[in-house]
Amino acid sequence: MVTPRQLKQLADQHGTPLFVVDHHEIRRNFAMFRKHLPRVQAYYAVKANPDPAIVKTLFRAGASFDVASMPEFNIVHENIAKWPAKKRQDFIWDKIVYANPVKDNRTLAELDPYKPLVTYDNLAEVGKIKKYAPHAGLVLRVNVPNTGSMVELSSKFGASPGEAVDLMEAAFNAGLAVEGLSFHVGSQCTNYQNYVQALEIADSIFKEAWDRGHKQVRILDIGGGFPAPYDPHVQPFAELAKTLNAEFDRLFGPEIEIIAEPGRFMVATAAILAVEIIGKAVRNGKQCYYVNDGVYGTFSGVLFDHCQYHFKAFKKGPTQIASVFGPTCDALDVVSVAEDLPIGLQLGDYLYSENIGAYTIASATNFNGMPLPKVVAVGATL
């Protein structure tokens, strides 16, 4: 990972706010995923960070892609499709997952020529796909427990397990090809029992589908949720992988193709943000610092991702608890109210925040006209 010394040099060179992406770390994360889950093909969730350079790096490493909008699809298309065929992996478009269960008609029509896999979870979607994307392969998303996950998804997406096979049959009766099942245990899932329960649900649905004659349903998409190490309480990925592999061996024979949609896991630890102190004050006896990026910018994950980011300083010395505010003229722009920072930081000093690669710059805005940070890639694929 980029060292504090390297980061300070980059901040001096490029100015702040500065978002540094370490592509060596991305490759390490992908290699770790592949090592510990050898049976699972990783489809990177582009929404976590849609930087085209990240797409290229993961493509070269062997990843496939999960997209949830046409702009995301086009990022993959524009940065991968133009490569010489001999440099492509053997997935092209029939192995992309368009993993948004609800799509507008125009999007379906644009997708259809590529024959991608698309998810669905309701009867209305069957009719839309039949009309506008009849060449797509379908993956039925089912509702599974999201207990304890940082971002809960089950209230918005997923068919109930009891109606799953009926929804498959509705698609088959419409002349569509249902190829598999998918689920999502919730983002930043640290409750591994969510996965265990979800896999048991999937196993029962596969068996019912096969009993009804639908032997062609063979793909299992276990979604995302793989946690990033935001704090020391998150168990090592190897522990989750051990649980998953045991369940794969217990429940699913080699005829089942298992895929996943890691996003946060691939990129969270691969970026670091440097900011500058642009203001300081003491409010009600507490030191407050104002920095040139905030919750409307790269720290958007505070609002949209239920995530808390922490700061470090390049200066050393005795510390005190301080608040850190963003630069906008809005009282909501509070990044943290409890940061342990050195006493006596001055205007122009830098702070930095680690593990900020996922769901941060991706959902940042230009509210108040504040500029987004400059992005610098270290070790990117050419």
Question: What is the structure's pLDDT at 153?
Answer: 75
Question: What is the structure's pLDDT at 90?
Answer: 44
Residue spans of the domains in the chain: they are 4-17+270-378, 23-268
How would you classify the pairing of strands 271-283 and 18-22?
antiparallel
The CA-atom distances, in angstroms, between 154 and each of 44, 163, 174, 198 are 20, 15, 27, 12
Q: How far is CA 26 from the centre of its chain?
A: 13
Question: What is the structure's pLDDT at 381?
Answer: 72
Question: What is the structure's pLDDT at 94?
Answer: 46
Whether 329 is catalytic is: yes
Model confidence, pTM = 0.94
Question: What is the structure's pLDDT at 83?
Answer: 58
* DSSP label at residue 96: -
CATH numeric code, 4-17+270-378: 2.40.37.10
Asked if 132 and 154 touch (Cβ cutoff 8 Å), the reply is: no
Question: What is the structure's pLDDT at 190?
Answer: 86
What contacts 173, CB < 8 A, 6 or more positions away?
Answer: none
Question: What is the structure's pLDDT at 114?
Answer: 87
Q: How far is CA 190 from the centre of its chain?
A: 15
Cis ω before 71 (30° cut-off from 0) = no
Give mean pLDDT in consecutive 10-residue pieces for the chain, a chain of 382 residues.
92 98 98 97 96 94 94 88 50 70 97 92 97 96 85 84 97 97 91 93 97 96 93 90 97 96 97 98 97 98 93 96 98 97 97 97 96 96 69
CATH numeric code, 23-268: 3.20.20.10
The CA-atom distances, in angstroms, between 27 and each of 313, 327, 378 are 27, 34, 12
The residue from 189, 288, 307, 329 that is catalytic is: 329
Helix residue ranges, H only, 65-154: 70-76, 105-111, 123-132
